[in-house]
Structures are given as C-alpha cells and as structure tokens.
Structure 1
Amino acid sequence: MPRPTTPVTGLRHQLAELRGPDRPPRPLDARALAALAANPGCNRRALLDGAGVDKARLADALGAPSAFGQSQFALARGNVFEARVKADGGAQLLRLVHERVGPAGAPEPVAELVSAPDLSAAGPQGRTARTALALREAAQSPGTWTFLDHPMLALDVAGSPAFLEPDAVVVHPDGSWTVVEIKSFPMIDGAADAAKVGAAARQAAVYVLALEQVAQRLTGLDAEVRVRDRIVLVCPKDFSNLPAASAVDVRKQLAVTRRQLARLTRIEDIAAALPPGTAFDPELPAAELAAAVEAVPATYAPECLAACELAFHCRERSRAAGAVTVLGRPLRAELGGLTTVDAVLAAAHGEGGDPADPTVAALRRAAALRAEALSGKERQR
C-alpha cells in the first residue's frame, strides 16, 4: 500500500514538475527573498522562485536575456572594501557598531572583550550548525563582544531551508544580535542613495528573520537573546575608501518579508490555477515556454529591472499590452482602476470611464487645461 502523500511532499512534487524533469531547484538566497518582498504582488516571481526555477536560463530561452547582476569590477571593489572594514579581527567594524547602535554604558569593544570564532565547516548544513553553536556560546558569555564573519544561517521557506550568508553578525555584551551589511556604494555627507539603502534594508531583513529562527531555538538559556530590528549599514565615506556607518530601521521590511514568506507557503494555490502540464523547463520550445510564463500573472514595475532576471520579458509584454505599470508604481496607484494607457486616454478625452470617478474627473480636467493652454499658444502665434 503506497504511503499517503503529505501536503509538503505533494507540493514539492508539484514544484518539481513545474521545473521540468531532473531539474534541481535553484536555491533561494537573500537577494531573491528581498526582491520578493520588493514586489509582493507578482505571482509570477513568487511561483518561479518558490519552485526553484532558474529564471536567468528561462529569460535566455524566451529571447529576453537578463542584464541583472553586479559587474565583476563592482564585485572586486566591494570585496576589497569589505576586507578593509573587517581587518584586525573586525576591530574597526565593532567600533562602528558600538557607535551607531551600542546602548549607553556598554563596554567598548577592546581586544580583551572581543571573540571571533572560526565558523568554517563542511557544507552549508555544517556551517549553519557551527554558526548556531557560536551564537549559543556568545549568548552564554555576557559582557563580551562576538564578531561572526560571514556566518551561515538557514531560513525555512515553504518547507525547505534557504541558506543565507550575511556579511557579519555582532553579538553585543547584553546578548543582543545585530546584522551588519557592507556595501560598496558611497555614503556622502552621512547619507546614501535611498533606493540602494532600501534594497540593502530588505536584504538585511531576511537575515534578521533567519536570526530570529535561531534565537527561538535557543530559548531557555540564562542570557536573554534578542535580535535587533536596527541593522548597521557600512559604506565608503564620501569618495574615499574609509568606512562610514549608519543604523537602519528594518521593521517595515521585516513585516513585508514575513507576509511574502507566508505567501510562498501558499504557492500551491497559484500553481493550481495553471493549465495541466504547464512546465518552465528552458529546454521546451519557445512558444510553449512563453505560453507557460504568460499563464502566471505578473506585476511588472521599472524597479524589476534591478531585481529580476525576467524583467526584460515582462517589460516587453507590459508595453505590448499598454499597461500603465511600465510608467511606475506611483502613477499606477494614482490611476486606480484604469490599468491601460488606452483606457487612460479614453477617460481623459471623455470617451470612456465613469464621470463620477475622481480619477476620471481629474484626467478630464487635466485634458481640458492642456487643450486650453495649447489653444492659447496658437492664438499668440
């Protein structure tokens, strides 16, 4: 008699069929999870990431290759800057953390009070276990600082572990934990580009969630374990290679990421709406693959170009459909139920839309003012 299929096992089998035969799942990382949080309404990305589909290969097969990712120059520059920040056992980094989020009266991170355990181990599971052990030992050593360089954390995503590697985690003398993100974009006059800071905050929020899962497993210790919801962002100061740091509140990003991860556990609902036999195997004929992708609703926005491998494909389809989302989320929100450019123009010219709708009324008023201004210019000529 066959064993009954549990919901998790059934979901994994279903997602494996979507990937295609013998296609291993592409593991989720912090950048992918942060991008999900940046566009929570996109069913297409939620399903493809939840199923572990290689979106870069999928984009190539669709004829819209992705330019997503950092250049080798940017990666090399970032690695050099990170090594400089973490030199001398993280002494400078710990001072920056102490200055930005250290509680009043906390002991300074002098060498005698700093521990930097070795986190090397075999495989991601081994590194995750070694990180958890180091965090346990740090929680049982109040009054000292612990610097964890590239720890490995596991976050449960739709029943499977996603292995994540933050730049650093600092354990304070009071037992609390702080995530540190090191980026190569500059911090000019104490402020960095808001869009880049937002992306870093979303990525750091994923690490905070993973640390919270570790902290839950350490309950019962004498020392209090608390994961701070303010992370420390370290960037080059002005146009130099010297580090500058700021504390970033990630509570909003945490809330969004929690909701999106909870939504991933219900991706079977999205998959259930697909036509039978739908698959996203890049080896399929292009027409069949395009039909499979179009069967999953997408929510394209210009921000996707910096976060998703399928952005060019989705942008092309959105433009062909005349969707107002190609003009940006703020404008899309202002237009309410008018979702296409043709519908907006028709409403503005009095050829469509409900006159009682405030959005339609505003468009018609704007069109009338424009026509009046243009007629005035004609008269002046």
Structure 2
Amino acid sequence: MPLPRTRGKALRQRLAELRGPDVPAKALDARALAALAANPGCRRRAILDGAGVNKAAVASALGSPSVFGQSQFAFTRGNAFEAKVKADGGAELLRLVHEKLDRRAEPPADAQVPDLTATGPEGRAARTALALREATTAAGWALLDHPMLALDVAGSPAFLEPDAVVVHPDGSWTVVEIKSFPMLDGSADPAKVGAAARQAAVYVLALEEVAARLDPAPEVRHRILLVCPRDFSNLPTASAVDVRKQRAVTGRQLARLTRIEDIADTLPEGTCFSPELPAAELTSAVESVPATYAPECLSACELAFHCRDRSRAAGAVTSLGRSVRAELGGLTTVEEVLSAARGESGDPDDPAVAALRRAAHLRAEALAPLGQEVTPCH
C-alpha cells in the first residue's frame, strides 16, 4: 500500500538527507532486491538500499573496497547479445517464447512493440502499465522492451527494469531474462540459473502488482524464459524456468523487511552515509545501523568485507555461516562457544552445550597420548 503523499514526501526527504547533500540516489534493481530478500534481517543493507546509497563508494571510503560485480567486458558482451536477441522487432525472441512456452498459440507474426518512452521512472512505470493493459485487451502478441515496473519494498517504491515482458494472445504475461552465460548441450551453470531465477522472481512479483490493478486481472506466468548463447556461439537459445519457489520465498522475505521509515527513525539525528564524509564519521554512521553478516554476503553485497571484519572482531558466530549459527542456539559468540565446550559455562541440559562438550571430549581423546585417560566435561 503506498504511503500518504505528505508522509511519503517526508520519507523521501529523510532518505535524501541520509544519502548526503546533492548525492543522487542509486536505483534499487532486481539483483539487489533478490540479495536483500535473502538476508531480510540486515537492517544496514535495508536502509542503505532504501535510501539509494552507493554501497560500493561507501565501502571504498571505509577502506574495504568491494570486488564483486560485473566486469566491463561482460557488460559489453551482454548488451551486444541482448541487442542480437531483440533485433528485427524481437522476432527471434518471440519465436523462442512461442516454442518454449506457448506452442498452442498462433505464431507471433505481427507482434506489437509499444513505445515505452516517458519522463522519469514514475512516468515510465505508468506508461508500462498502460501498454500492458492495451496489449492484454488486444488479444495478440506484444513485446515490451525494457518496461519499468514499480514494487513496494518496506514502504518505499523500487523501480525495476526487466529485459523484456511478453504478452501472449490469451492475455497472460511472461518475464524474459537475457543472460550472456552459455547453455552447453541445453543446460547452463546451476548457480547462474538460480541467480537469474531469483532475479526474475522479483519481476514476477512486480508484474503481479500491476495485474492486480486490472479487471479482470491477467495471469502472470510463473515459468519465465531464460535466453542464453548456445554452446560457444553467439546464437540464442532458451529454456523455460519455473520460478514459483523463488517467487514464494522472495515475496515472504520482502514482506518480513522492517519498514525503512522505522529504521530511519531509530538513527541518530544528522546521520549521513555520504562517501565524502571523513572516514571516522562515515564509519560511525554505518555502525549505527546493525548488520547481519553471513558468508553469503560476499557474493551479494558491496559492504561484505567491512561487515565481515566487524563480525570477526566481535567474535560473532554468524561469520561462520548461518547453518553453524542455527546449530548453536543461544550461543552467539565464539568465546561463549569455547567456554561452553570447556565446561566453564552453559546449561548442560542445553542440546547445543551438550553437543559441544561431547565434541570437545572426543577431540581431546583423539589428541591425547596413547593410554592417557581423558576426563569428560560436565
């Protein structure tokens, strides 16, 4: 549900203050949303992304520069491949959609390719919604090239731009993801396909919000089309990917996010995340928002190295991984874990404490000189 106009204006002003004077907002894309949904407990990432802060610039200013992201070569190659796929009014792309997802429909001979030009993201999102409505009622094929979708995230709108959305003759909608990694013998790297599916799931959620405003609401298909180069060529091939699981998980995680305005209200007066601030002042501002670091952050967040250093310095068990953290129950630091294992603290009836002491005893037995008896911890 959108915020009231006056309240929304106040929130936008507050987020602009957090970015810093004259610092433009960095758009929150589907990749960032998927990563945010994978770690909904991280209030630091939620407020920085919600405010449009450039986390890569902040990480560099903190002395922990990010090394994650797409290279310029990969970016150029991806753009060239996408242009090839969409050439001639998207004829090849529509052929792949027809072949992989909708063979019962008539071949897409004369598809509409509406003009989605408008001023600003809000204008483009409105133009996209209108084009989707018109294409749905026209009962034919339509290709929307780089439409703009809006998705409410923790009380703040995020504007998303999928590679394409196809409207089928039956009025249903399909998200198309175009990637430059290859499909070898009809299959691609599972990790990369999984990342693409999570990203597409965000677009599906945004499309569902648009569809819900129409009467009757058209179907948003949960099988998206993933288009990649075939083998080692530059020829496109495609595969249908079911994203129902990713859509359900992402939707549930995004719903769990603390509202951005609630996080902003807890920050000290004058907090600012501008990379131009002195390092000590910027560090203090970043540290004023709690983070939830896990090793998975290294492949998804620009601030991961900074947060990892702080997590290790605090001895937090989350730096060892979420699965380890889940096994340790109420033991949140490495020192607490070691103390419990040595029998110096902890409730012996706690399953985590009992398991640690048993593991410590077995280790001591394995390392003890032959014939020496080891006393178990109690």
Q: Same fold (TM over 0.5)?
A: yes
Secondary structure of 2:228's match?
A: strand
Cα distance, 1:279–1:117 mapped onto 2, change above 3 Å: closer
- What letter matches 2:52 in structure 1? G
More deviation, 303-312/271-280? 271-280
Q: Distance in 2 between matches of 1:40 and 1:25?
A: 21
Q: Contact 2:156 / 2:260 at 8 angstroms: preserved in 1?
A: no
Match of 1:183 in 2: 179
Match of 1:132 in 2: 129
Q: Contact 2:273 / 2:282 at 8 angstroms: preserved in 1?
A: yes
- What letter matches 1:338 in structure 2? L
- What letter matches 2:347 in structure 1? D
Q: Contact 2:315 / 2:333 at 8 angstroms: preserved in 1?
A: yes
Q: Contact 2:94 / 2:108 at 8 angstroms: preserved in 1?
A: no
Q: Give the Å deviation of 1:163.
A: 2.6
Q: Distance in 1 between matches of 2:279 and 2:48?
A: 17
Q: Give the Å deviation of 1:314.
A: 0.6
Q: Give the Å deviation of 1:184.
A: 2.0
Q: Contact 1:116 / 1:146 at 8 angstroms: preserved in 2?
A: yes
Matched, 1:18 2:18: yes
Q: Contact 1:146 / 1:170 at 8 angstroms: preserved in 2?
A: yes
Cα distance, 1:194–1:348 mapped onto 2, change above 3 Å: farther
- What letter matches 1:275 in structure 2? P
Secondary structure of 2:346's match?
A: coil
Q: Contact 2:40 / 2:254 at 8 angstroms: preserved in 1?
A: no
Match of 1:285 in 2: 278
Tell me which of 312, 317, 320 is aligned to 1:324. 317
Match of 2:113 in 1: 116
Q: Contact 1:212 / 1:227 at 8 angstroms: preserved in 2?
A: yes
Match of 2:100 in 1: 100
Q: Give the Å deviation of 1:356.
A: 1.3
Secondary structure of 2:15's match?
A: helix
Q: Distance in 1 between matches of 2:245 and 2:32?
A: 18
Cα distance, 1:274–1:151 mapped onto 2, change above 3 Å: closer
Q: Give the Å deviation of 1:94.
A: 2.6
Q: Give the Å deviation of 1:297.
A: 0.9
Identity %: 76
Secondary structure of 2:272's match?
A: coil
Matched, 1:38 2:31: no
Cα distance, 1:377–1:71 mapped onto 2, change above 3 Å: farther
- What letter matches 2:80 in structure 1? V
Listed one character per residue, the Cα deviations across residues 12-52 of structure 1 (whole Å, up to 9, x for unaligned) are: 33333323334343332222222211211101101111222
Match of 2:197 in 1: 201
TM-score (norm 1): 0.86
What count of residue pairs does the alignment treat as equivalent?
369
Tell me which of 148, 151, 155 is aligned to 1:155. 151
Q: Give the Å deviation of 1:121.
A: 4.3
Secondary structure of 1:23's match?
A: coil
Match of 1:76 in 2: 76
Tell me which of 363, 368, 380 is aligned to 2:361. 368
More deviation, 325-334/234-243? 234-243
Q: Name structure 1 gaps, 5 residues minimum.
A: none
Matches within 5 A, 1:58-69: 58-69=58-69
Listed one character per residue, the Cα deviations across residues 161-207 of structure 1 (whole Å, up to 9, x for unaligned) are: 43321111111121100101112223345443333233222221221
Match of 1:87 in 2: 87
